[in-house]
């Protein structure tokens, strides 16, 4: 497995792989790898000849009061985990390799970045789209695998890829969960035992919302109210948003339409840890 630290070297590797007619799948990560990331890598391995993983904690996507400094960075363990699934190359740049001192170019995707995560975390998506654009230019993949847990992020990246004509297929891979239903996330490491139990309400709320829609409920407010009651039935959760939206556009409507695909989206603080999760539901 190659460990690559510079953009130029990464581009040389991809050039060589492409010259040998090998297809490339790419998994962007911020490290602190868990089985959700490994699942993306397994899908990447099945899809293409070569699998590249990037590990880069991107300062541009963290707000001033967010957890950039304390974000976990178990890099040796991450490298070992990549080896276990047969990754071919790990791209491991330092911050100064990606952002030179006078770096001043960013990528902004309109509309779909304005709500939910974008409303709560100003300039977060600008940081994500800028780094993903740079990573795509460094790795030049045929496919890029991203996890459904960050549902809006995947839609934002798909929009960027389509608007800027990046020659890559973005694949959304279903969320990996612990046995109790908690979506795997590097931020779960911040949770105490009791907070972890509290966090399970998020999944429960999503399943209550899904059940209502499956049973024929079509009024967004009643679905959102039901999900909120589940979240608020325990101490220690602060809701950021808890919404039903169209699964493609993230637009919100008062009444869901038959045959529409919707997504239930929750972001909530459990203690000081902000967690997100979602569930896609087809309306009958
Ligand atoms: O989902 C993440 O871990 C990050 O947002 C990503 C896509 C690796 C960009 O830094």
Does residue 51 sit in the same domain as residue 143?
yes
Let me know: does 55 contact 75? Beta carbons within 8 Å: yes
Last residue of a domain, one of 173, 208, 229: 173
Between the CA of 145 and the centroid of ligand 1 the distance, in Å, is: 11
Q: Which residues line ligand 1 (CB under 6 A)?
A: 28-30, 58, 61, 128, 131-132, 150, 153
Closest by Cα among 66, 71, 67, 199 to 121? 66
* Residues 102 and 52 reside in one and the same domain: yes
Domain boundary among 173, 206, 241: 173
Asked whether the whole model's pTM tops 0.85, one would answer yes
Residues 190 and 143 in one domain: no
Which one-letter DSSP state was computed for residue 49? S
On whether both 116 and 163 belong to a single domain, the answer is: yes
Which domain range does residue 74 map to?
2-173
34: annotated active-site residue: no
Helix pair angle (193-214, 220-232), 10° resolution: 160
Output the domain CATH number for residue 231: 3.30.1300.10
Together in a domain, 224 and 88: no
Pick from 54, 58, 146 the residue to mutate for probing ligand 1's pocket: most ligand atoms within 8 Å of its CB.
Answer: 58
**Rounded Cα–Cα distance for residues 55 and 24 (Å):** 17
- Give the alpha-carbon dihedral of 171, 27, 173, 72, to 10 degrees: -150
Best mutation site among 26, 29, 147, 175 for ligand 1, i.e. most ligand atoms within 8 A of its Cβ? 29
Determine, yes or no, domain membership for 284.
Answer: no
- The answer on 71 and 166 residing in a single domain is yes
83 shares its domain with 167: yes
User: Whose alpha carbon is nearest atom 5 of ligand 1?
Assistant: 128
Distance 146 CA to ligand 1 centre (A): 8
User: How many other CB atoms sit within 10 Å of the CB of residue 258?
Assistant: 8
Which candidate in 37, 96, 124, 284 is catalytic? Answer: 37
The Cβ of residue 252 has, within 10 Å, a number of other Cβ atoms equal to: 15
Number of domains present in the structure of the chain: 2
Q: Whose CA is nearest to atom 8 of ligand 1?
A: 29
Report the atom number in ligand 1 closest to the C-alpha of 29: 8
User: Do 41 and 163 belong to one domain?
Assistant: yes
- Give 3-state DSSP helix, strand, coil % of the chain, rounded to 5: 45, 20, 35
- Sequential pLDDT tens for the chain (284 residues): 999 999 999 999 999 999 999 999 999 999 999 999 999 999 999 999 999 999 999 999 999 999 999 999 999 999 999 999 999 999 999 999 999 999 999 999 999 999 999 999 999 999 999 999 999 999 999 999 999 999 999 999 999 999 999 999 999 999 999 999 999 999 999 999 999 999 999 999 999 999 999 999 999 999 999 999 999 999 999 999 999 999 999 999 999 999 999 999 999 999 999 999 999 999 99
CATH number for the domain harbouring residue 42: 3.40.50.620
């Amino acid at each position: 497995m190659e460990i690559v630290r510079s953009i130029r070297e990464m581009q040389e590797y991809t050039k060589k792989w492409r010259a040998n007619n090998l297809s490339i799948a790419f998994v962007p990560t911020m490290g602190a790898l868990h089985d959700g990331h490994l699942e993306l890598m397994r899908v990447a391995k099945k899809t293409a000849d070569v699998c590249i993983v990037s590990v880069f904690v991107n300062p541009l996507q963290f707000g001033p009061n967010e957890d950039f400094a304390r974000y976990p960075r178990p890099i040796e363990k991450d490298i070992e985990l990549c080896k276990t699934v047969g990754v071919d190359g790990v791209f491991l740049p330092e911050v100064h390799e990606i952002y030179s001192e006078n770096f001043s170019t960013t990528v902004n995707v309109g509309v779909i970045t304005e709500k939910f995560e974008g409303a709560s975390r100003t300039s977060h998506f600008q940081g994500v789209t800028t780094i993903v654009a740079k990573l795509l230019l460094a790795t030049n993949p045929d496919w890029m695998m991203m996890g459904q847990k960050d549902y809006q992020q995947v839609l934002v990246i798909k929009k960027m890829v389509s608007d800027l004509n990046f020659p890559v297929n973005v694949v959304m891979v279903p969320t990996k969960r612990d046995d109790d239903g908690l979506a795997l996330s590097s931020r779960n490491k911040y949770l105490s035992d009791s907070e972890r139990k509290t966090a399970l309400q998020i999944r429960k709320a999503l399943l209550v919302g899904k059940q209502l829609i499956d049973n024929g409920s079509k009024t967004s407010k009643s679905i959102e109210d039901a999900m909120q009651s589940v979240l608020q039935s325990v101490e220690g959760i602060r809701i950021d948003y808890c919404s039903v939206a169209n699964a493609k556009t993230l637009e919100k409507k008062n009444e869901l339409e038959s045959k529409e695909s919707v997504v239930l989206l929750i972001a909530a603080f459990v203690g000081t840890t902000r967690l997100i999760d979602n569930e896609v539901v087809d309306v009958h």
